[in-house]
Chain A
Amino acid sequence: MRKHTSATRQGRPLWMFLPGGLLTLVVIVVPLALALYISLLDLDQYSIREWVGAEFIGFENYVEAVRDSHLPHAITISLGYSALVTLGCLPLGLAAAVATQDRFKGRGLVRSALLIPYVLPAFVVGSTWRIILQPDGIANRLLGTEGLWLNGPRSFWALVIVQLWAGWPLVYLLAAAGLQSMDTTVHEAAALDGAGHWAKLRHVVLPQLRGPVSLGLVISFLHNVNSFTLPFVLFGVPSPYDVEVLPVLTYVESFQNFEFGLSVAMAVVSLILVAIPMAVYLRAVRLDTERGQK
């Protein structure tokens, strides 16, 4: 299929890249390079004013981050909770997609409602659940439990639950899109074979959703690993030990402890963490009409 091969080399208005390219260069590319450089400096609140003259200490920040900081702990927390949330998105997203596929009265309304947690700003979600989960709050009352959700060991589960509540609709969305683009003849084939609802779901429908759903899971994982606002608003800073996720740790190290070099080194490490799911993601998405498929 060579539908859109009309891409031409003649009279290319490459200047149209200028605004976007310049902004990206100044606010993303240069800061990225700067980050790599700063991570090699002994930069704290005393040297920040003259940061260019701060002492170059090679990989000492990285060594300190790995050996004497909360970084390994934060990585464990970040990866652990992101994996749990991503896993949790799967049954919720699939169930919602399958349940809203058949026509029924009010389906449009249900579909809209299910997406609301996802469109709510993270700072609103955080503020709301902070109140729901406060010690004498509604959560403890309804569950018949006592004690803290926003501090101590339970806070980890609070983070998982709230992030799951806010994030699962993305998987639903992608699964629903996959269902809608599914070839309808498979239904007839399944009916001819006398397949029941469950057999059809398991052997015909769900396997076809593998593509879009795995994409949703990868995106969800990336989103959770990088998520700053929700844990920041939900637990405040400095964050409780059990929910000391990487983005918040990095932020606190910079803007509360003023250990800038160390903080940026930590952030660079987090870049490595997202690199693997990112590579998977890049392979999964159709980049161009002429190559690969979704």
Chain B
Amino acid sequence: MRSEDVARLLPTGVRNAILAVLLLIVLGPLAYMAIASVSSDLAVARGALWPDGFHIDNYARIWSTTNLGRGLVNSLLVAGAVAVVSAFVALLSAYVLVRYAFRGRIAVLRSLLALQSIPGTLLLLPVFVLFAGAATALGVTIIGTRWAVLVTYLTFALPFSTWVMVTYLRELPPELDEAARVDGASPWRVLTRVIAPLSWPGLVVSGVFAFLLGWNDVLFASVLTNPDTRTAAVELQIFGASQEGGALPVYGQLMAAALVCAVPVVALYLVFQRYLVAGLTTGGVR
């Protein structure tokens, strides 16, 4: 008996049956999404399974029906900045957490996990009040700008990003930076010259998760942005909600818009899949 056979968990038939059911559950709605996005509004409204023709123009019309274009630009700007900055800030904190001993270290590690499960709805109003107060005190505009959501997402991304970096840096042999330290390199030099170049997979994971946090949020963006700075998430939510009542909803376009919003995320996932899966299993609440 080959070791391959010994390790088998399921008879092939059972395995294929399970996979068929699971794939149907997962891919069914996804396939319908794609079909509906090229269907006429009427076909979707009637619940037709096959499109009555190939209405690819849904994808052309969404740009004038909605402000999705501007929303996507806003989302890319905000989420992109959040990704880059949070990965770097997380690296700084994680480096100290992993390589140095100090009082309260365990408490900080624990809070990295605890902070992730604070409900956003609890912080929404206080953050709003705080930003409004700061704006008045400083004589600047905060709410309605991209800065407001950027700073918010950046902060919310940090606990998980830092946790990912902590788990990553732990695996780097300490001899690496010890050698550099013995040579008289400052912690900053050790971090930027030795640690950072070695930890880019960790940086990518924490950056991608931070990007997703910014891209996916509706709660804070719905309150902290104005029509010019709205993210794609809020734009799509408003588009969907506005289809209630009145004339025939533009379902086809709505599905096309939803797909457009999903594409960057799914693409990121497929490109970095290997690293992301490792990152997710290190225990994130997200």
Which residues of A approach B to under 8 Å, CB–CB? Answer: 4, 6-9, 11-14, 16-17, 19-21, 23-24, 26-28, 30-32, 34-35, 38, 48, 51, 92, 95-96, 98-104, 110, 112-117, 119-124, 126-132, 134, 136-142, 165, 170, 173-174, 177, 184, 187-188, 191, 197, 200-201, 205, 212, 215, 219, 222-223, 225-226, 228-229, 232-233, 236, 246-247, 250-251, 254-255, 260, 263-264, 267-268, 270-271, 274, 277-278, 281-282, 285, 287-289, 291
Contacts and interface: CB of A to CB of B under 8 A. Distances in A.
A159 to B, nearest CB: 15
Nearest to B151: A27
A258 B193 CA distance: 52
B227 interface: no
The 8 closest A-B pairs by CB, nearest first: A31-B126, A13-B187, A27-B155, A141-B47, A267-B122, A34-B126, A121-B216, A16-B92
Question: SS class of chain B's interface: helix, strand, loop or mixed?
Answer: helix
Given A9-B101, A124-B258, A236-B241, A116 B216 contact: no
A20 B162 CA distance: 9
B124 A288 contact: no
Contacts of B138: none
Given A13-B188, A128-B255, A201-B10, 7 more contacts: A7-B100, A7-B101, A127-B255, A188-B3, A205-B9, A274-B118, A287-B110
Contact of B7 (A30, A184, A285): A184
Contacts of A120: 262, 265-266
Nearest to B169: A4
A12 B97 CA distance: 10
A188 B219 CA distance: 52
A116 B236 CA distance: 20
Contact of B95 (A8, A16, A131, A137): A16
B56 interface: no
B117 A278 contact: yes
B239 to A, nearest CB: 8
Q: Identify whether the interface residues of A are mostly helix, strand, loop, or mixed.
A: helix
Interface in B238-264: 240-241, 244, 251, 254-255, 257-259, 261-262
A120 to B, nearest CB: 6
Interface in B1-47: 1, 3-4, 6-12, 14-15, 18-19, 22-23, 25-27, 29-30, 32-33, 36, 44-47
Residue among A113, A121, A232, A291 with most chain B CB within 10 A: A121
Contacts of A287: 106, 109-110, 113
Interface stretch (B58-66, B197-205, B277-285): B277-285
